[in-house]
Amino acid sequence: MRNYLFLLIFCVSFGIVTGQNIEKNWLFSSVETLEGESLFPINPETDRFDLDNGVFSYSLEAKDNLEASGDYIFQNKLLVLFYSKPKDTIRRYHIEELTDSTLVFSENNVNYKFIYVDKKDASLLIDENKTDSSNETTLIKASEGFSSQSLWRGILGMFTLILIAFLFSANKKAINWRTVGIGLTLQLVIAIGVLKVSFIKNIFDLVGRIFVSILEFTQAGSEFLFKGLVADMDTFGFIFAFQVLPTIIFFSALTSVLFYLGVIQKVVKAFGWLLSKLLKISGAESLSVAGNIFLGQTEAPLLIKAYLEKMNKSEMLLVMIGGMAT
Protein backbone atom coordinates (compact mmCIF):
# COMPACT_ATOMS: atom_id res chain seq x y z
CA MET A 1 0.00 0.00 0.00
CA ARG A 2 2.80 2.39 0.89
CA ASN A 3 4.40 1.85 -2.53
CA TYR A 4 1.17 2.89 -4.24
CA LEU A 5 1.03 6.03 -2.10
CA PHE A 6 4.59 6.95 -3.06
CA LEU A 7 3.70 6.34 -6.72
CA LEU A 8 0.70 8.67 -6.37
CA ILE A 9 2.87 11.39 -4.82
CA PHE A 10 5.43 11.01 -7.60
CA CYS A 11 2.82 11.31 -10.35
CA VAL A 12 1.15 14.37 -8.82
CA SER A 13 4.50 16.05 -8.12
CA PHE A 14 5.73 15.33 -11.62
CA GLY A 15 2.63 16.95 -13.09
CA ILE A 16 3.13 20.04 -10.96
CA VAL A 17 6.84 20.61 -11.55
CA THR A 18 6.61 20.07 -15.29
CA GLY A 19 3.73 22.51 -15.71
CA GLN A 20 6.08 25.19 -17.04
CA ASN A 21 8.42 24.18 -19.84
CA ILE A 22 10.10 25.50 -22.93
CA GLU A 23 7.96 23.53 -25.39
CA LYS A 24 5.61 26.20 -26.72
CA ASN A 25 4.81 28.14 -29.88
CA TRP A 26 6.81 31.30 -29.18
CA LEU A 27 6.55 34.62 -31.00
CA PHE A 28 9.67 36.63 -31.76
CA SER A 29 9.74 39.84 -29.71
CA SER A 30 13.17 41.18 -30.66
CA VAL A 31 16.70 40.25 -31.69
CA GLU A 32 19.14 42.75 -30.22
CA THR A 33 22.64 43.34 -28.92
CA LEU A 34 23.52 43.36 -25.24
CA GLU A 35 23.21 47.16 -25.38
CA GLY A 36 19.58 46.85 -26.52
CA GLU A 37 20.12 47.81 -30.19
CA SER A 38 17.71 45.98 -32.50
CA LEU A 39 19.46 44.06 -35.29
CA PHE A 40 16.46 43.77 -37.62
CA PRO A 41 12.67 44.33 -37.50
CA ILE A 42 10.29 41.64 -36.31
CA ASN A 43 6.98 40.76 -37.96
CA PRO A 44 4.66 39.36 -35.24
CA GLU A 45 2.42 37.80 -37.90
CA THR A 46 5.03 35.50 -39.41
CA ASP A 47 8.10 35.38 -37.14
CA ARG A 48 7.71 32.36 -34.88
CA PHE A 49 9.84 29.90 -32.92
CA ASP A 50 8.19 26.54 -32.20
CA LEU A 51 9.53 23.88 -29.81
CA ASP A 52 7.70 20.57 -29.56
CA ASN A 53 8.83 17.07 -28.54
CA GLY A 54 12.51 17.68 -29.22
CA VAL A 55 11.89 19.28 -32.62
CA PHE A 56 12.25 22.99 -33.38
CA SER A 57 11.29 25.23 -36.28
CA TYR A 58 11.33 28.97 -36.81
CA SER A 59 10.76 31.58 -39.50
CA LEU A 60 12.12 35.12 -39.91
CA GLU A 61 10.74 37.44 -42.57
CA ALA A 62 13.56 39.99 -42.23
CA LYS A 63 16.12 37.30 -43.09
CA ASP A 64 14.77 36.69 -46.61
CA ASN A 65 11.87 34.63 -45.22
CA LEU A 66 14.29 32.23 -43.55
CA GLU A 67 12.83 28.85 -42.61
CA ALA A 68 14.83 26.62 -40.25
CA SER A 69 14.14 23.33 -38.47
CA GLY A 70 15.80 20.40 -36.74
CA ASP A 71 16.17 18.74 -33.33
CA TYR A 72 17.08 20.33 -30.01
CA ILE A 73 18.27 19.53 -26.48
CA PHE A 74 17.41 21.69 -23.47
CA GLN A 75 19.39 21.05 -20.28
CA ASN A 76 21.09 23.08 -17.56
CA LYS A 77 20.01 26.42 -19.07
CA LEU A 78 21.66 25.37 -22.33
CA LEU A 79 19.63 25.11 -25.53
CA VAL A 80 21.40 23.21 -28.32
CA LEU A 81 19.87 23.32 -31.81
CA PHE A 82 20.82 20.60 -34.29
CA TYR A 83 19.87 22.11 -37.65
CA SER A 84 18.75 19.93 -40.54
CA LYS A 85 17.40 22.88 -42.57
CA PRO A 86 18.66 25.06 -44.26
CA LYS A 87 21.98 23.29 -43.57
CA ASP A 88 23.44 20.84 -41.06
CA THR A 89 25.03 22.70 -38.17
CA ILE A 90 24.97 22.90 -34.37
CA ARG A 91 24.38 26.11 -32.41
CA ARG A 92 24.35 26.58 -28.65
CA TYR A 93 22.35 29.19 -26.75
CA HIS A 94 22.39 30.12 -23.05
CA ILE A 95 18.95 30.57 -21.50
CA GLU A 96 18.82 33.95 -19.74
CA GLU A 97 15.13 33.93 -18.80
CA LEU A 98 12.27 31.43 -18.95
CA THR A 99 8.80 32.17 -17.55
CA ASP A 100 5.25 31.24 -18.46
CA SER A 101 5.15 33.96 -21.10
CA THR A 102 8.74 35.00 -21.87
CA LEU A 103 11.86 33.33 -23.21
CA VAL A 104 15.27 34.97 -23.62
CA PHE A 105 18.44 33.23 -24.77
CA SER A 106 21.78 34.56 -25.97
CA GLU A 107 24.58 33.66 -28.37
CA ASN A 108 27.71 35.67 -29.18
CA ASN A 109 26.51 38.84 -27.41
CA VAL A 110 23.12 38.71 -29.15
CA ASN A 111 19.87 38.35 -27.19
CA TYR A 112 16.89 36.57 -28.75
CA LYS A 113 13.65 37.50 -26.99
CA PHE A 114 10.31 35.71 -27.35
CA ILE A 115 6.86 35.88 -25.84
CA TYR A 116 4.07 33.36 -25.57
CA VAL A 117 0.38 34.15 -26.04
CA ASP A 118 -2.48 31.79 -26.81
CA LYS A 119 -3.95 31.78 -30.31
CA LYS A 120 -6.90 34.02 -29.40
CA ASP A 121 -4.73 36.69 -27.81
CA ALA A 122 -2.21 36.46 -30.66
CA SER A 123 -4.89 37.13 -33.28
CA LEU A 124 -6.17 40.13 -31.34
CA LEU A 125 -2.67 41.56 -31.02
CA ILE A 126 -1.99 41.08 -34.72
CA ASP A 127 -5.25 42.85 -35.62
CA GLU A 128 -4.22 45.76 -33.41
CA ASN A 129 -0.87 45.94 -35.20
CA LYS A 130 -2.61 46.04 -38.58
CA THR A 131 -4.77 49.01 -37.58
CA ASP A 132 -1.87 50.97 -36.13
CA SER A 133 -1.32 54.10 -38.23
CA SER A 134 2.31 54.43 -37.24
CA ASN A 135 4.92 53.91 -39.96
CA GLU A 136 7.08 51.88 -37.58
CA THR A 137 6.49 48.22 -36.93
CA THR A 138 4.51 47.73 -33.73
CA LEU A 139 5.90 44.93 -31.60
CA ILE A 140 3.95 42.93 -29.07
CA LYS A 141 4.89 44.09 -25.62
CA ALA A 142 6.41 41.19 -23.71
CA SER A 143 4.84 40.20 -20.44
CA GLU A 144 7.03 40.32 -17.36
CA GLY A 145 5.93 36.78 -16.55
CA PHE A 146 4.21 37.77 -13.30
CA SER A 147 0.50 38.27 -12.77
CA SER A 148 -2.13 37.72 -10.10
CA GLN A 149 -3.00 34.46 -11.84
CA SER A 150 0.58 33.16 -11.70
CA LEU A 151 0.85 34.32 -8.06
CA TRP A 152 -2.22 32.37 -6.96
CA ARG A 153 -1.13 29.38 -9.04
CA GLY A 154 2.16 29.39 -7.16
CA ILE A 155 0.43 29.70 -3.78
CA LEU A 156 -1.93 26.85 -4.68
CA GLY A 157 0.99 24.70 -5.81
CA MET A 158 2.95 25.24 -2.58
CA PHE A 159 -0.15 24.59 -0.45
CA THR A 160 -0.87 21.38 -2.40
CA LEU A 161 2.69 20.10 -1.99
CA ILE A 162 2.70 20.81 1.76
CA LEU A 163 -0.72 19.17 2.14
CA ILE A 164 0.39 16.03 0.27
CA ALA A 165 3.57 15.81 2.34
CA PHE A 166 1.58 16.21 5.57
CA LEU A 167 -1.09 13.63 4.67
CA PHE A 168 1.46 10.94 3.78
CA SER A 169 3.91 11.72 6.57
CA ALA A 170 4.87 8.69 8.67
CA ASN A 171 5.08 10.81 11.82
CA LYS A 172 2.95 13.96 11.61
CA LYS A 173 3.70 14.98 15.19
CA ALA A 174 7.43 15.15 14.46
CA ILE A 175 7.00 17.79 11.74
CA ASN A 176 8.90 20.95 12.63
CA TRP A 177 6.69 23.70 11.22
CA ARG A 178 9.30 26.31 12.11
CA THR A 179 11.71 24.66 9.69
CA VAL A 180 9.00 24.54 7.02
CA GLY A 181 8.26 28.23 7.50
CA ILE A 182 11.95 29.21 7.38
CA GLY A 183 12.44 27.14 4.23
CA LEU A 184 9.51 28.78 2.44
CA THR A 185 10.68 32.23 3.52
CA LEU A 186 14.22 31.60 2.26
CA GLN A 187 12.80 30.32 -1.01
CA LEU A 188 10.78 33.52 -1.42
CA VAL A 189 13.74 35.76 -0.52
CA ILE A 190 16.07 33.98 -2.96
CA ALA A 191 13.45 34.14 -5.72
CA ILE A 192 12.98 37.90 -5.23
CA GLY A 193 16.74 38.40 -5.14
CA VAL A 194 17.37 36.43 -8.33
CA LEU A 195 14.53 38.12 -10.23
CA LYS A 196 14.74 41.69 -8.94
CA VAL A 197 18.23 42.32 -7.51
CA SER A 198 20.81 42.58 -10.28
CA PHE A 199 23.76 41.85 -7.97
CA ILE A 200 22.31 38.53 -6.79
CA LYS A 201 21.13 37.68 -10.30
CA ASN A 202 24.65 38.24 -11.66
CA ILE A 203 26.14 35.95 -9.00
CA PHE A 204 23.77 33.10 -9.84
CA ASP A 205 24.29 33.72 -13.55
CA LEU A 206 28.08 33.60 -13.13
CA VAL A 207 27.99 30.32 -11.21
CA GLY A 208 25.52 28.90 -13.72
CA ARG A 209 27.77 29.83 -16.63
CA ILE A 210 30.73 28.14 -14.92
CA PHE A 211 28.80 24.88 -14.58
CA VAL A 212 27.53 25.14 -18.15
CA SER A 213 31.10 25.70 -19.39
CA ILE A 214 32.26 22.61 -17.50
CA LEU A 215 29.47 20.50 -18.95
CA GLU A 216 30.23 21.83 -22.44
CA PHE A 217 33.60 20.07 -22.25
CA THR A 218 31.59 16.90 -22.84
CA GLN A 219 30.53 18.26 -26.21
CA ALA A 220 34.17 18.71 -27.23
CA GLY A 221 34.95 15.13 -26.20
CA SER A 222 31.91 13.78 -28.05
CA GLU A 223 32.88 15.64 -31.22
CA PHE A 224 36.44 14.29 -30.93
CA LEU A 225 35.23 10.68 -30.75
CA PHE A 226 31.99 10.74 -32.76
CA LYS A 227 32.16 13.91 -34.85
CA GLY A 228 30.41 12.41 -37.86
CA LEU A 229 27.50 11.10 -35.83
CA VAL A 230 27.19 14.18 -33.62
CA ALA A 231 27.11 16.53 -36.60
CA ASP A 232 24.41 14.53 -38.41
CA MET A 233 22.15 13.32 -35.62
CA ASP A 234 18.62 12.63 -36.83
CA THR A 235 17.35 10.37 -34.05
CA PHE A 236 17.08 10.74 -30.30
CA GLY A 237 19.10 7.56 -29.82
CA PHE A 238 22.20 9.35 -31.09
CA ILE A 239 21.39 12.40 -28.96
CA PHE A 240 21.22 10.30 -25.80
CA ALA A 241 24.22 8.11 -26.62
CA PHE A 242 26.60 10.88 -27.66
CA GLN A 243 25.34 13.91 -25.71
CA VAL A 244 23.44 12.98 -22.54
CA LEU A 245 25.28 9.79 -21.54
CA PRO A 246 28.81 11.25 -21.89
CA THR A 247 27.71 14.21 -19.74
CA ILE A 248 26.72 11.88 -16.91
CA ILE A 249 29.94 9.85 -17.18
CA PHE A 250 32.11 12.97 -17.34
CA PHE A 251 30.49 14.67 -14.35
CA SER A 252 30.60 11.46 -12.31
CA ALA A 253 34.34 11.16 -12.97
CA LEU A 254 34.86 14.85 -12.15
CA THR A 255 33.11 14.56 -8.78
CA SER A 256 35.18 11.46 -7.97
CA VAL A 257 38.37 13.46 -8.57
CA LEU A 258 37.07 16.36 -6.46
CA PHE A 259 36.15 13.94 -3.66
CA TYR A 260 39.61 12.37 -3.80
CA LEU A 261 41.17 15.84 -3.51
CA GLY A 262 38.94 16.67 -0.54
CA VAL A 263 37.08 19.51 -2.27
CA ILE A 264 33.61 17.94 -1.98
CA GLN A 265 34.11 17.25 1.74
CA LYS A 266 34.94 20.90 2.41
CA VAL A 267 31.93 22.13 0.45
CA VAL A 268 29.64 19.68 2.26
CA LYS A 269 31.03 20.81 5.60
CA ALA A 270 30.43 24.47 4.70
CA PHE A 271 26.86 23.82 3.59
CA GLY A 272 26.26 21.67 6.65
CA TRP A 273 27.41 24.41 9.02
CA LEU A 274 25.25 27.04 7.33
CA LEU A 275 22.03 25.13 6.76
CA SER A 276 22.15 23.09 9.95
CA LYS A 277 21.77 26.40 11.78
CA LEU A 278 18.76 27.42 9.71
CA LEU A 279 16.98 24.26 8.60
CA LYS A 280 18.56 21.46 10.67
CA ILE A 281 19.52 19.46 7.57
CA SER A 282 22.81 17.79 6.70
CA GLY A 283 25.47 19.25 4.47
CA ALA A 284 25.24 16.48 1.86
CA GLU A 285 21.54 16.84 1.13
CA SER A 286 21.77 20.64 1.17
CA LEU A 287 24.65 20.51 -1.36
CA SER A 288 22.55 18.31 -3.65
CA VAL A 289 19.59 20.69 -3.45
CA ALA A 290 21.83 23.71 -4.06
CA GLY A 291 23.45 21.92 -6.99
CA ASN A 292 20.06 21.58 -8.65
CA ILE A 293 20.05 25.36 -9.13
CA PHE A 294 22.87 25.06 -11.66
CA LEU A 295 22.82 21.39 -12.69
CA GLY A 296 20.24 18.92 -13.93
CA GLN A 297 18.47 16.33 -11.80
CA THR A 298 20.92 13.67 -13.02
CA GLU A 299 24.17 15.52 -12.32
CA ALA A 300 23.26 17.11 -8.94
CA PRO A 301 23.11 13.83 -6.93
CA LEU A 302 26.52 12.91 -8.36
CA LEU A 303 27.95 15.72 -6.22
CA ILE A 304 27.18 13.65 -3.12
CA LYS A 305 27.35 10.10 -4.48
CA ALA A 306 29.86 9.14 -1.76
CA TYR A 307 27.29 10.06 0.91
CA LEU A 308 24.21 8.41 -0.62
CA GLU A 309 24.64 5.01 1.02
CA LYS A 310 24.68 6.62 4.49
CA MET A 311 21.54 8.72 4.01
CA ASN A 312 18.25 7.92 5.71
CA LYS A 313 14.85 7.93 3.99
CA SER A 314 14.15 11.55 4.82
CA GLU A 315 17.43 12.73 3.30
CA MET A 316 16.97 10.56 0.20
CA LEU A 317 13.47 12.00 -0.26
CA LEU A 318 14.86 15.54 -0.13
CA VAL A 319 17.47 14.69 -2.77
CA MET A 320 14.74 13.25 -5.02
CA ILE A 321 12.46 16.25 -4.51
CA GLY A 322 15.31 18.60 -5.34
CA GLY A 323 15.89 16.77 -8.61
CA MET A 324 12.23 16.84 -9.60
CA ALA A 325 12.07 20.57 -8.83
CA THR A 326 14.93 21.38 -11.22
Look at residue 326 in the predicted model and tell me its pLDDT: 64
Look at residue 237 in the predicted model and tell me its pLDDT: 55
Could you tell me the pTM of the whole model? 0.46
- Which of 45-54, 73-82, 99-108, 143-152 shows the lowest mean pLDDT across its residues? 143-152
Spatial contact of 270 and 282, defined as CB atoms under 8 Å apart: no
Residue at which a domain ends, from 131, 151, 181: 131
Cβ within 8 Å of residue 9, ≥6 positions away = 164, 168
Other beta carbons less than 10 A from residue 174's beta carbon? 7
Cβ within 8 Å of residue 226, ≥6 positions away = 242
Examine the pLDDT at 14 and tell me if it is beyond 60: no
User: 204 with 276, same domain?
Assistant: yes
User: 198 with 316, same domain?
Assistant: yes
User: 195 with 286, same domain?
Assistant: yes
Buried/exposed code over 203-238 (b: 16+ C-beta within 10 A; e: otherwise)? eeeeebeebbebbeebbeebeeebeeebeebeeeeb
Percent of the chain residues past pLDDT 70, beyond the cut: 74
The parent domain of residue 205 ranges over 190-324
The count of domains in the chain is: 2
Which domain CATH number covers 99?
A: 2.40.128.280
Look at residue 3 in the predicted model and tell me its pLDDT: 45
Look at residue 12 in the predicted model and tell me its pLDDT: 42
Spatial contact of 26 and 115, defined as CB atoms under 8 Å apart: yes
Look at residue 16 in the predicted model and tell me its pLDDT: 39
**Highest mean pLDDT: which range of 10-19, 151-160, 245-254:** 151-160
Look at residue 87 in the predicted model and tell me its pLDDT: 76
Helix (H, G, I), strand (E, B) or coil at 275: helix
Residue at which a domain ends, from 131, 150, 175: 131
